[in-house]
Structure 1
Amino acid sequence: MLDTFGKINVTAGRVLLGLYFFLPGGVSKVLGYEGTADYMAANGMIFVPFFLILTIIIQLGCGGAMIVGFKTKAAAFLLAGLTLVINLVIHDFWTLPAGELQTAHETQNFVKNLGIVAGLLVAAG
């Protein structure tokens, strides 16, 4: 049983995770659709329009669901899966030359996303 402070923390964590996927995730992909599509294509992604639209739908829908507390466990689990796929396809630092700035950047994004996945899995229960 969570005390009041624990309930506040769980709610704040859920809302912050939801905002992370709703705003910089979904909304920024809608507003910067072409740039995001180009970035995905440059990283070897296939069927870019399909996967970009699917990603936007998942990030907006599940991010919004987490913000308001609707089907939180399912939304968090779906976002965790999506984030893992994005990590493996887009932030594949192991394919880049060692010592390059881009390699360090992708490694940082990969590890950051693992932390986000961990938080999502906790939220998914």
Structure 2
Amino acid sequence: MNTVLLTVGRIMLALYFLIPGIMKFVSWDMHIGLMEKHNMPFVPVLLAAAGIFQIVAALLLIANRYTAIVALLLAGLVLVINVNLHDFWNLAGLEGAHEMQNFIKNLGIFAGLLVLSGHYWSSLKVTNVNSIEKSRR
């Protein structure tokens, strides 16, 4: 049962990044506008990089490849996006409340990615300086 729950959770987290990664290219102008509204630099480059990273990272999670490092990198991306695009502290009223909700939701995603990364890091063991292999549990 543990393996099933871990697999389903990992794939669900992957979809959370795969779909928005694709949507960055499908709704390019909308995402450009959102990033420009937050005065981000190098908007087209950052948007393309984020979209490509989200798609590739999600596919790696689905394939269960490099899961520990990919989850950790995605956690970093979530923090960067959270601070730059869900800045509820700069907003008032309903918009501020909405962004606070997104910010807190993303902290939950961040926590899930840390747990996933920690699980996969703990299943690795160093056999010598040049070799890391999955432990046989």
Q: TM-score, normalised by structure 2?
A: 0.84
Question: Can you list the C-alpha shifts for 1:20-49, whole angstroms capped at 9, x where unaligned?
Answer: 1001x2011110011101111011211101
Q: Is 1:19 aligned with 2:21?
A: no
Q: Which residue of the partner structure matches residue 121 of structure 2?
A: none
Q: Which runs of 5+ in 2 are unaligned?
A: 119-137
Task: Please tell me whether Structure 1 or Structure 2 has the larger radius of gyration of its CA atoms.
Answer: 2
Percent identity reads: 44
Matches within 5 A, 1:43-122: 43-97=38-92, 100-122=93-115
Q: Structure 1 runs of 4+ off > 4 angstroms?
A: none
Q: 1 CA distance for matches of 2:110 and 2:39?
A: 23
**Once superposed, what is the RMSD of the aligned Cα atoms?**
0.7
Q: Which has the higher helix share?
A: 1
Q: Which has the higher strand share?
A: 2
Q: Which runs of 5+ in 1 are unaligned?
A: none
Structure with more contact order per residue of length (Cα contacts < 8 Å, sep ≥ 6): 1
Q: TM-score, normalised by structure 1?
A: 0.92
